Every structure is written in C-alpha cells, then in structure tokens.
Chain A
C-alpha cells in the first residue's frame, strides 16, 4: 500500500489526477454539447444540405448545386427584405441604443428622482412578448379607433395612417424600440454599476461635469457591454418575424410575404411548401448576420487599437 505512493509512482499519479479532471470536465460539458450539436450544429448543416436540392414534380428531390442561391440573390423580394432590414439597422438600432445608454447613464448618475423606478418601468416592456406588443401597437396605430390618430385629430390636424405602406416600417421600428430599450439599458446599467468608483471620483472632485465623466470615463469603460447590445440588436433585427406577421393581418397592403427575410423564409417553407428555397434564404440570412456582426466587432477593435 505504501508502495503506490512512493516517489517513483509520482508521475503516473499526477497523470491520473489530470485524467480524472479531464474526465470530469468532459462530463460537465457533455450534456450541453450534445444538445448543442443536436439542436444547433446538425440543423445548421441540414439546412445547408437542403439548400442544394429542389423538389421536382418528376424525379423528386434533385441536387441542383447553387441554383437556389442564384435564385435568392436575384429574387427582388428577398433583396428588398434584406435592404429593408439594413435600413432598419441603420435607423432603429442607433436610436434604441442611444436611448438605452442615455437612460442607463442618467439613472447611474444618481441625479434622477425615483431613478430606481425609472429603471424598473423602462424594463417592463421586455416582459411583454413581441407578438403581444405588436398586437397592442396595432390597436394604438389604428387610423379610426387608435388613440394616437384620435389625439392628433382632436388638435385639428390630419392624422397620418401609421399602418400605410409608407409609414409601417417606422411603426415596426417603434414597436421594437419600445420592447427592447429596457433590455439593452439593463445590460449597460449593469456594466456601469461595476465600474470602480475611484475611476471617476477623482474627476468629480476636479470639477468635471457629469457629461464629461459619462463621455470620457463611463462610456469607454462599458464599451464591451455596448458592443454586446449592438451584436444582439443586429441579430434581432434580421430575425424580425412577429411584428410583420401580426401587421400583415391588419395591414395586408403594407406587408408583403417577403417583408422581412425571416418572414419570407417562413412563408416559403410553410405556406408555399418550398422548403429547399426557404433553407437557402435562411442560410444566406445567417451569413449576412455573421458578416455584419464580425464587421462591427472588427471595426470597434480597430478603433480601440488606434486610440
């Protein structure tokens, strides 16, 4: 018995410990990785596989190479949808994140009366599912019975139809902004709270104003959190589904089947039964999201290196 713990046995024993720890690590990771592979990796490759086939009346499922992709890249409806989401990204995301950042900074500065309640109440819409948010705003936007139009008309002005083809994109932007400012604000606020106070107490004592402190100390300090919200917003934007699908019912003239890429993929797969083309659309959409996300990450990294 004493032999096993004698010096010559040291090395194998060390290896045994390492092996035991490795085994434990694999067992900890295994449940997640199994489901991850089954529910994320496999569907991803399956989707890629499907996108190279086409269901034909004669011959059934046939390999068609990149034909679905060529079709998608020349499909005006799909391209319009992607561009529409690009525009959405450029307009809505900055507004939403700027508002979230402003609220987070204001509450964090401690200069707002009832700041705690502001934080809670701004966060509450995140508890409302996107579908129900769209449903509510659908009523609020109504041209005849919606309170927005009623109020504008009460002042003697002409109420714009918020569900018209010209304005509905902005109406959707508003629904998303309403739902997600609080979520992004909480991410930023949590990051602000964990900045060590010493970082800006000195600046405060030197008489720097709150704006100066926010701009030069707080915002740079929470840059990773802001980047996180940007990435999540990009992913969320390209996946818009609930809003167009709900608004399609109340404003069919304004929302086409391909209004957003995700809504298009859904319609192709489950209304038109064209699974293969839908898979190609979903795949291209995923690639677009990844490219945009990486470009954003790279550009912020470069900026960090320059400064």
Chain B
C-alpha cells in the first residue's frame, strides 16, 4: 500500500516526471512531501541533542559579557548586572601590549602553512601510490598506513630533543615541520585518486606527449580538488587545535598560538588570585579565537563530506 505513494512522490520530484526508476536521485526524493516522511519525535530528540552541543557555546557568549565579579556571582546562562563585553574585548586586545593579536596571527600562520604543506605532500604521495606501480611502492604505503596508528604525542618528546640539538626549538619550524606529516592524508588521497582519476585519462595525456609532472598538475590536481581541500582542512584544524606540541616546543610568549597563550593566561589568573585575575579576558579571548574557525566550518562543511566519503567507504 505504501509502495505506490513513495514511487509517485519520487517520480514527481524528478525534473522529468516518470523518469526511469533506477536513475532516481535519493536527495530529490527526500525533499518531497515532508508531511509524510518527517518525524516529529525524531526531530525533537535531535534538536534536544543539538542543545547539548550548543550549551557551552551559549555560555561562552553570555560569559563574555560579564566582568570578573558577575562571572562568579550571577547565573551562568544569563547576563550579569553589568554588560562588559566592550571592556572585555578591549582588555583582550590590550593585555600585555596586545599579545592576543600576535597569538591569533601565529595560529593562522602555523595552521595555514602546515595545512598547505601537508595537503601538497599527501596529495603528491597519494597520487603516486594510486596511479604508479613502482618498486617499493606497496611497502612504503603499508609503512605509512601502519603509521596512522602511531600516537603522534608519543613522538613529541624525542622530536623536542632532536630539535633542541639542531637549535630549532622555540621557532615556527618546530611547530610546522612535525605538522606536515599526515599519514591519514596520504591514505585518503590514495583512495580518492584511485577513484577520481581514470587511468585512461593519464594514458591519453601520455600519448599526447605530456610529461608526468604536467599530467599531475593539469589533470590530476584538477580532479583531486575536493580531496585536497579535505586533507588541507584536517591538517589545518589539527594544527589549529594543537596544544601539546607548541607547549613543549615554544618558550617565548610572542611565538605562542592561541591555545597555549590562553591556557597560560588562564592558569596565571587561577594562580595569581585577585590582583592578576584575567578570567573574563580569557573567556572573551576564547570566544574571539573560536569564531573564525566556526565560521570557516560552516562554510566549508561540504568539503569534509565529499573528501571523507571515499576514504570512509573504501577504507
């Protein structure tokens, strides 16, 4: 009984009604006839779950409008007596001669450079592993695959010692170099390239006389676009969110990323007691530092998905 309306609904949603059933796109079918297919119970459950995920962020926004007194004396999820958002923002950007901006810039610099580097290296390697059969290729790829399971933080201590021998601790290199290695990125790009670039296309380009590098730049990269962006985003967020590595490697506050800078301000406030209390400054700083990435996420979400789809299914 229920079979007929579904087929009809699907057919009507197609641009050409009564199109061949096998070619029906799922998505257009779903958008159709919400009354029938939407579940109120499921909707309520899901939106309650969403509230849980938003609750700390709502708190963060509210807390950013409070001064230190209100922060500890008023109800956490509602505004305090004074509206101190502007004072807090001023404080964020002026404390220690505006070092917050420096941290923000460092964070962007470290993560964008690491993201671009990791994406480029992973793409080249993944493309070669997918599209060339060369001696040692399988072995190298297996080693890289096994390395996905190596906990990167377990490497932080020996890496620190190595870097301190070379004298590059407390420099940007100490953050960027380890962040360039993304075994998962190579895996993702190998799977993605195997699917996205037909062998015939490479052969045709070869017959036309194109060199291997030209084929990669002009044919490969163009087809790998979404996968490259996914790897870039993964590496960017990993560096942006990293705490242990910069905490170990960096001494100078002027080199800190936001994570280390804000955490140190927070612990200084907690230890320093009343006089040095920067609690509301740290909270407002956290809000300001979270906003750019949240916005970027909302805009770029489809890339996470398209790049991950292949990796997740074929993995």
Instruction: Kindly state whether residue A70 has any CB partner on chain B within 8 Å.
Output: no
Q: Nearest-CB distance from A201 to chain B (Å)?
A: 8
Find residues 1-32 in chain B having any chain A CB closer than 8 Å to their own CB: 2-3, 6-7, 22, 24-26, 30-31
Instruction: Kindly state whether residue B235 has any CB partner on chain A within 8 Å.
Output: no
User: In the complex, which range does the number of interface residues on chain A fall in?
Assistant: 35 or more
Given A125-B53, A242-B244; A110-B270 close (CB under 8 Å) = no
From B46, B55, B161, contact of A118 by CB (8 A)? B46
Instruction: Kindly state whether residue A213 has any CB partner on chain B within 8 Å.
Output: no
Task: Please name all residues of chain B whose beta carbon is closer than 8 Å to the beta carbon of A242 when the two chains form the complex.
Answer: 243-244, 259
Task: Please name all residues of chain A whose beta carbon is closer than 8 Å to the beta carbon of B297 when the two chains form the complex.
Answer: 120, 123-124, 126-127
Q: Interface digits, A8-44 against B, CB 8 Å rule (1 contact, 0 not)?
A: 0000000000001110111111011101101110111
In the complex, besides A137-B56, A239-B151, 8 extra interface pairs with C-beta distance below 8 angstroms are A117-B50, A118-B47, A120-B297, A125-B56, A132-B286, A144-B72, A205-B3, A289-B151
Stretch of B34-42, B82-90, B97-105 at the chain-chain interface: B34-42
- Mind listing 29 A-B residue pairs with CB under 8 Å? A24-B212, A31-B124, A31-B125, A32-B125, A42-B162, A43-B155, A44-B158, A46-B162, A103-B46, A110-B30, A112-B42, A122-B49, A124-B53, A124-B57, A129-B243, A129-B258, A135-B262, A145-B71, A147-B75, A178-B56, A188-B312, A191-B309, A197-B24, A205-B3, A228-B312, A231-B148, A249-B270, A266-B157, A279-B157
Complex Cα distance, B312 from A222, in Å, reads 8
From B134, B243, B283, contact of A25 by CB (8 A)? B134
Task: Please name all residues of chain B whose beta carbon is closer than 8 Å to the beta carbon of A193 when the two chains form the complex.
Answer: 305, 309
Task: Please name all residues of chain A whose beta carbon is closer than 8 Å to the beta carbon of B282 when the two chains form the complex.
Answer: 135
Complex Cα distance, B211 from A20, in Å, reads 10
Instruction: Kindly state whether residue B171 has any CB partner on chain A within 8 Å.
Output: no
Task: Please name all residues of chain A whose beta carbon is closer than 8 Å to the beta carbon of B315 when the two chains form the complex.
Answer: 224-225, 227-228
Q: Is the CB–CB distance between A118 and B262 below 8 Å? A: no
Q: Is the CB–CB distance between A36 and B183 below 8 Å? A: yes
For B56, B72, B260, which residue has the most chain A Cβ atoms within 10 angstroms? Answer: B56
Q: Is the CB–CB distance between B310 and A43 below 8 Å? A: no
Given A145-B71, A190-B305, A275-B161; A235-B57 close (CB under 8 Å) = no
Complex Cα distance, B313 from A187, in Å, reads 9
Complex Cα distance, B262 from A242, in Å, reads 13
Q: Nearest-CB distance from B293 to chain A (Å)?
A: 4
Q: Which 9 pairs, one residue from A and one from B, show the smallest C-beta to C-beta distance?
A: A147-B76, A225-B312, A24-B212, A28-B128, A25-B132, A110-B30, A32-B125, A191-B312, A129-B241
Instruction: Kindly state whether residue A238 has any CB partner on chain B within 8 Å.
Output: yes
Q: Is the CB–CB distance between A282 and B157 below 8 Å? A: yes
Q: Interface digits, B98-122 against A, CB 8 Å rule (1 contact, 0 not)?
A: 0000000000000000000000111
Instruction: Kindly state whether residue B301 has any CB partner on chain A within 8 Å.
Output: yes
Chain A positions within 8 Å of B, measured between CB atoms, are 20-22, 24-29, 31-33, 35-36, 38-40, 42-44, 46-47, 50, 99, 103, 106-107, 109-115, 117-133, 135-137, 139-140, 144-147, 150, 178, 181-182, 186-191, 193-195, 197-198, 201, 204-207, 222, 224-225, 227-228, 231, 235, 238-239, 241-242, 245-246, 249-250, 262, 265-266, 269-270, 275, 278-279, 282-283, 285-286, 289-290, 293-294
Task: Please name all residues of chain B whose beta carbon is closer than 8 Å to the beta carbon of A115 when the two chains form the complex.
Answer: 46
Find residues 141-169 in chain B having any chain A CB closer than 8 Å to their own CB: 144, 147-162
Q: Is the CB–CB distance between A224 and B313 below 8 Å? A: yes
Q: Nearest-CB distance from B131 to chain A (Å)?
A: 8
Q: Nearest-CB distance from A252 to chain B (Å)?
A: 10
Complex Cα distance, B47 from A99, in Å, reads 13
Q: Nearest-CB distance from A147 to chain B (Å)?
A: 3
From A28, A40, A235, contact of B155 by CB (8 A)? A40
Q: Is the CB–CB distance between B213 and A24 below 8 Å? A: yes
Given A112-B38, A178-B52; A131-B262 close (CB under 8 Å) = yes
Q: Is the CB–CB distance between B155 and A44 below 8 Å? A: yes
Find residues 224-274 in chain B having any chain A CB closer than 8 Å to their own CB: 237, 240-244, 248, 258-260, 262-263, 266-267, 270-271
Complex Cα distance, B282 from A250, in Å, reads 15
Task: Please name all residues of chain A whose beta carbon is closer than 8 Å to the beta carbon of B152 when the two chains form the complex.
Answer: 239
Q: Nearest-CB distance from B274 to chain A (Å)?
A: 15
Given A39-B159, A132-B286; A127-B237 close (CB under 8 Å) = yes
Instruction: Kindly state whether residue B216 has any CB partner on chain A within 8 Å.
Output: yes
Task: Please name all residues of chain B whose beta carbon is closer than 8 Å to the beta carbon of A109 when the two chains form the complex.
Answer: 42
